[in-house]
């Protein structure tokens, strides 16, 4: 399908000759010559957005004033929050967020037919790639059978979803599916799908070159910013609208310049660098802003490290973390097998249109900060937020402080009073060093060791964040080799796993003969997917789980991922630490967060001598030489040659050939959602919130994991009861993430995180609240009881409400529970947008008011007025709170409907309703 551009004017459309091919392109220099402004000092990230305005200028959705606004941004020192209509070139999805998006498209076809329209009008207008990467779970580990057994279980669990996705691939135009077992979407995107500069025919048949841009239904879409591809995560709802040709409404962002100087020191990794960057930018405050990296430090920073920094933009709160095109970009494109014609185009286009970073690159930024990479030290972060940076030599000390914070007094738990010495006064197996007064411990049935607070029960090399980086993966393999040579092994209570983000990783680990060393200490291949990082860590040994629960232990995990939120990694693990792959291996050998691995031994060699981390840590020279030898262009080309073909299992998935989906009534994975049922052709109006009850009062940093968990759940939960009633055995429950195509499961899973704390209840963890009669019940049951009486609901929250990923179900579930408004101190960007996209209005406190200063208990009744009629974006509106004793407090709220188009979305009941009605009217 050709791209559709705006006016074909001679003003900004120019021609570029590369080799023997000629490309049309939209010239920023020509825009300056046409008197549209001075763009010479714009950051490269913002030039990408400006080019988008030039290419789609039509005098309607994009005007010359929109283009001039970028010059004004530069003149105003990096500020001009003008609303613009931005059109990304493509959309990237993964299956957890992609399945509900395809469910919505299928439901929209049904809805359009019901409104008298043509089902074929519901088709992606922009290319969409969906990579199945979130489904594999680590049931089997630590043996050569692990990979195949986990793949087999994946297909057993997910066949209904895969059948549905295969139907979508045949039913919709412009929609491709990358099958299971290929890799993680962001790594596949970085290594194969992305082009940096794209070219395609326009509606006039002329080939146009333009920057590669995208949005994705996963917040870590930002990883590809490392390759100078502007992309960020949006909710599935917003992505669906973009697929269907709806521009993304956004404000011209501020751009924070992050200057990198110096070079990384011996013994440090790209992971150590990104953890420091996350800490610095969280402290700076970059929510809703672009971050662009510049400075001479980029001259020595491999693209793999840049991608790691780009990947964790959601963790530091930015919309994206962008790296301009330079020589390293070209080197990476060459190594990863891109064709030479594309690489030549990237260089020529970037230099011609002002996107190239050279020694003189010095744009205007809204604000800046700086980091000397020579100051970076080995580090981890945790135990429950990515920004909680800890220098490695302070890790054990910080963990002890964390335990004391959890248990201020020495524990009264009987299990904590056990004898900590073995025979002859020698330390018992796996005993806690130092002061143990605040630690709990428990016997493990059938084993000769005890577990205690700090026992590492999961060590996982996982996630696109680090497995995309051959330097840290080769480093992990070398640590394993040196440990194996000295006779070290993982501690027996540690569940170890290796889940690379692409098959290329296996190719170079095998070429370097390092996979055998990793296997020897338990890091066998378990699958190609997100696994532990998304909560698919699988069950730990039952006896360990029993001991943890019996002793009320704070068990720990160490993973090379990007998220360590509460309740995410495993229901048995309460403290989670992010670390580089080499450190994950080291911690598996130590088995204990109480051990200072910078000073204390990891174990003993064959002769009984202590082995320290320094004894098995590889040099940068060793790593670089192996990367040079084994990470080859040929490996990338070979592994991606048949990327859409899949294995025999995928090819054997059968599906129907039809325009609309025949929803199987008995499916517990895929159901027709209720969003478009009985929908009229005309939009409604926004109503005031009257006499609403409070469903939950939540604290700071409530993440989308808290709101819509992705991991496992038990029979006793509302979702578990729903499945049990439909004869689904607990072994087949799978995860919340895998069941996102079924709104009945997901409604029941909303606010059901096992670690969420509703402040309406005293010290209770989990998804509970007070029902209409004042008794404690699940949030789902209470919401349904209120819905019976047509009682509207509100949620109160603190700072950074909705932090974390782009999962649309955090907003969909909120809406389906009957919540009309969420009132918080501030919102993370994606979740705010998702709430609006589902017709739920976000509000922020003003004037210093908070849930705490107002003394809210959840017993209040809330009314919000000023919403009806001519509501302006970002208006302040009055709110009346009637307290439990009958007293009344009047406060002012800021309505976070940010743009005029967002107001239309809410009037329609959501962005998809808006698109559907417009398509019906055009029929």
Q: Which segment of 242-246, 362-366, 415-419, 583-587 scores lowest on mean pLDDT?
A: 415-419
Structure tokens at 226: 């490392």
For the record, the structure tokens of 489 come out as 């092994």
- Find the DSSP H helices in 223-361: 236-243, 270-284, 303-311, 313-316, 327-335, 340-352
pLDDT above 90 for 431:
no
Q: How far is CA 139 from the centre of its chain?
A: 23
- How far is 721 from 736, CA to CA, in rounded Å? 13
Nearest to 17 by CA among 8, 28, 29, 25: 25
3-state secondary structure of 598: coil
pLDDT, tens digit, 9 for 90 and up, residues 721-767:
999 999 999 988 988 988 999 999 999 999 999 889 999 999 899 99
Q: pLDDT: is 857 or 919 the higher one?
A: 857
Relative to beta strand 320-322, strand 290-294 is: parallel
Q: 24-54: per-residue pLDDT in tens?
A: 999 999 999 999 999 999 999 999 999 999 9
Give me the half-sphere count of Cα atoms (radius 13 Å) on the Cβ side of residue 721.
9
From CA 4, how far away is CA 14, in angstroms rounded? 17
- pLDDT, tens digit, 9 for 90 and up, residues 282-307: 999 998 899 999 999 999 999 999 99
Instruction: Give the pLDDT band of residue 425 (cuts 50, 70, 90).
Output: very low
CA distance 456 to 553: 11
Taken as a whole, the chain contains a residue count of 923
Cα separation, 708 vs 780, whole angstroms:
12
Q: What kind and span of H or E run contains 92?
A: strand 90-94
| CA-CA-CA-CA dihedral for 157, 162, 163, 164, to nearest 10 | 110
CA atoms within 13 A on the CB side of 546: 8
Decide if 87 contacts 728 (C-beta within 8 A): no
Query: Do 309 and 221 meet the contact criterion of CB atoms below 8 Å apart?
Result: no
The reply to whether domains 90-375 and 386-420+436-634 share a CATH topology is: yes
The structure tokens listed for 520 are 């020897």
pLDDT at 2: 60
Question: What is the homologous superfamily of the domain 90-375 according to CATH?
Answer: Aconitase, domain 3 (3.30.499.10)
Q: Where are the alpha helices (DSSP H) in 289-415?
A: 303-311, 313-316, 327-335, 340-352, 395-406
Mean pLDDT score, 772-793? 96
Cβ 413 vs Cβ 440: under 8 Å: yes
CA 576 to chain CA centroid, nearest Å? 17
Instruction: Give me the pLDDT at residue 83, please.
Output: 86
What global pTM score does this model have? 0.86
Nearest Cα to Cα of residue 499 among 536, 539, 526, 468: 526
User: Which residues, at least 6 apart from 196, have a Cβ–Cβ distance to it below 8 Å?
Assistant: 211, 212, 227, 228, 229, 325, 329, 333, 342, 346
pLDDT at 410: 62
What is the number of alpha carbons within 13 Å of residue 837 lying toward its C-beta?
29
Any idea what DSSP says for residue 183? B
CA distance 152 to 373: 44
How would residue 421 be classed by pLDDT, with cut points 50, 70 and 90?
very low
Radius of gyration of the chain (CA): 27
Contact 813, 710 (CB under 8 A): no
d(CA 721, CA 765): 19
Handedness of CA 374, 380, 384, 386 (dihedral sign): positive
Q: Find the mean pLDDT for residues 317-344.
A: 97
Q: Say if CB 689 and CB 792 are below 8 A apart.
A: yes
- Domain boundaries of the chain, sorted by first residue: 90-375, 386-420+436-634, 689-708+750-922
**How many CB atoms sit inside 10 A of residue 622's CB?**
14
Q: What is the rounded distance in angstroms from the CA atom of residue 423 to the CA atom of residue 603? A: 20
Query: Per-residue pLDDT for 619 more than 90?
Result: yes
CA 62 to CA 250: how far, in whole Å?
12
Which CATH code of 2.40.160.40, 3.20.19.10, 3.30.70.1350, 1.25.40.10 fits the domain covering 689-708+750-922? 3.20.19.10
The pLDDT of residue 589? 98
CATH of domain 386-420+436-634: 3.30.499.10
Helix or strand holding residue 786 (H, E): helix 779-788
Q: Is 159 helix (H, G, I), strand (E, B) or coil?
A: helix
Mean pLDDT (whole number) for 505-530: 96
Placement of tokens 């020529």 in the chain: 348
**CA-to-CA distance for 559 and 581, rounded, in angstroms?**
8
Q: Strand, helix or coil at 84?
A: strand
Q: How many CB atoms lie within 10 A of CB 361?
A: 14
């Amino acid at each position: 399908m050709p791209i559709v551009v705006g006016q074909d004017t001679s003003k900004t459309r120019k021609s570029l000759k590369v080799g023997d091919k000629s490309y049309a392109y939209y010239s920023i220099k020509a825009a300056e010559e046409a008197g549209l402004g001075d763009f010479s000092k714009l950051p490269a990230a913002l030039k990408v957005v400006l080019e988008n305005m030039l290419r789609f200028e039509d005098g309607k959705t994009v005007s010359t004033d929109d283009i001039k606004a970028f010059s004004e941004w530069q003149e105003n020192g990096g500020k001009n929050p003008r609303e613009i209509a931005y059109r990304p070139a493509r959309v990237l999805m993964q299956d957890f967020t992609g399945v509900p998006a395809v469910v919505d498209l299928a439901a929209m076809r049904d809805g359009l037919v019901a409104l008298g329209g043509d089902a074929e009008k519901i088709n992606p207008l922009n290319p969409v790639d969906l990579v199945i990467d979130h489904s594999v779970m680590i049931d089997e580990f630590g043996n050569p059978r692990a990979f195949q057994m986990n793949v087999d279980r994946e297909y057993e669990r997910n066949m209904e979803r895969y059948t549905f996705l295969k139907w979508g691939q045949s039913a919709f135009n412009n929609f491709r599916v990358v099958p299971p077992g290929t890799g993680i979407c962001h790594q596949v995107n970085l290594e194969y799908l992305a082009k940096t500069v794209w070219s395609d025919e326009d509606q006039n048949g002329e080939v146009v070159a333009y920057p590669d841009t995208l949005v994705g239904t996963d917040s870590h879409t930002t990883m590809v910013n490392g390759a100078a591809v502007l992309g960020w995560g949006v909710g599935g709802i917003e992505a669906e609208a973009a697929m269907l040709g709806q521009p993304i409404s956004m404000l011209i962002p501020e751009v924070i310049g992050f200057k990198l100087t110096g070079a990384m020191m011996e013994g440090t990794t790209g992971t150590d660098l990104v953890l420091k960057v996350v800490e610095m930018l969280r402290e700076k405050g970059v929510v809703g802003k672009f971050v662009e990296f510049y400075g001479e430090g980029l001259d020595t920073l491999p693209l793999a490290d840049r991608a790691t920094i780009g990947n964790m933009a959601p963790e530091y709160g930015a919309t994206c973390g962008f790296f301009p095109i330079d020589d390293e970009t070209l080197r990476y494109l060459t190594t990863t097998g891109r064709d030479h014609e594309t690489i030549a185009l990237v260089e020529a286009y970037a230099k011609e249109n002002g996107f190239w970073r050279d020694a003189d690159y010095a744009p205007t930024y809204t604000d800046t900060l700086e980091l000397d990479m020579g100051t970076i030290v080995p580090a981890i972060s945790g135990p429950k937020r990515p920004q909680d940076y800890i220098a490695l030599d302070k890790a054990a000390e910080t963990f002890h402080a964390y335990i004391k914070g959890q248990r201020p007094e020495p524990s009264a738990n009987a299990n904590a009073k056990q004898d900590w010495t073995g025979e002859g006064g020698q330390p018992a197996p796996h005993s806690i060093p130092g002061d143990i007064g605040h630690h709990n411990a428990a016997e493990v049935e059938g084993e000769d060791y005890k577990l205690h607070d700090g026992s590492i029960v999961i060590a996982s090399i996982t996630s696109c964040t680090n497995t995309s980086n051959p330097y840290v993966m080769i480093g992990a393999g070398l640590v394993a080799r040196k440990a194996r040579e000295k006779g070290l092994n993982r501690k027996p209570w540690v569940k170890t796993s290796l889940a690379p983000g692409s098959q290329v990783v296996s190719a170079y680990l095998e070429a370097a003969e390092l996979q055998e060393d990793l296997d020897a200490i338990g890091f066998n291949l378990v699958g190609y997917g997100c696994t532990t990082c998304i909560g698919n860590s699988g069950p730990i040994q039952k006896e360990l789980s029993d001991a943890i629960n019996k002793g009320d232990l704070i068990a720990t995990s160490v993973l090379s991922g990007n998220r360590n939120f509460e309740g995410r990694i495993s229901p048995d693990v309460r403290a989670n630490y992010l670390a580089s792959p080499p450190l994950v291996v080291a911690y598996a050998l130590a088995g204990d967060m109480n051990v200072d691995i910078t000073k204390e031994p990891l174990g003993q060699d064959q002769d009984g001598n202590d082995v320290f981390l320094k004894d098995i840590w590889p040099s940068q020279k060793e790593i670089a030489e192996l990367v040079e030898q084994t990470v080859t262009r040929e490996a990338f080309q070979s592994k991606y040659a048949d990327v859409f073909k899949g294995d025999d299992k995928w090819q054997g998935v059968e599906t129907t050939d039809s325009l609309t989906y025949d929803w199987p009534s008995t499916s517990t994975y895929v159901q027709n959602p209720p969003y478009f049922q009985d929908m009229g052709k005309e939009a409604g109006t926004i109503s005031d919130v009257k006499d609403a009850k409070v469903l939950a009062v939540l604290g700071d940093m409530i993440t989308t994991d808290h709101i819509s968990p992705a991991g496992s759940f038990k029979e006793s939960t509302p979702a578990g009861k729903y499945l049990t009633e439909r004869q689904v055995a607990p072994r087949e429950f799978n995860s919340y993430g895998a069941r996102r195509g079924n709104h009945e499961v997901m409604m029941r899973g909303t606010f059901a995180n096992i670690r969420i704390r509703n402040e309406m209840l005293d010290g209770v963890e989990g998804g509970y609240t007070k029902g209409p009669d004042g008794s404690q019940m699940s949030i789902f049951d209470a919401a349904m009881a209120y819905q019976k009486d047509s009682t509207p609901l509100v949620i109160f929250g603190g700072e950074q409400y909705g932090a974390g990923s782009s999962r649309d179900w955090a907003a969909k579930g909120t809406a389906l529970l009957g919540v009309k408004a969420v009132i918080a101190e501030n919102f993370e960007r994606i979740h705010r947008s998702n709430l609006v996209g589902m017709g739920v209005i976000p509000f922020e406190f003003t004037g210093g008011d908070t849930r705490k200063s107002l003394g809210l208990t959840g017993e209040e009744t809330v009314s919000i007025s000023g919403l009806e009629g001519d509501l302006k974006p970002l208006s302040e509106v009055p709110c009346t709170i009637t307290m439990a004793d009958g007293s009344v407090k009047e406060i002012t709220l800021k309505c976070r409907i940010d743009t005029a188009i967002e107001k239309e979305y809410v009037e329609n009941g959501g962005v998809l309703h808006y698109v559907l009605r417009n398509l019906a009217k055009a029929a």
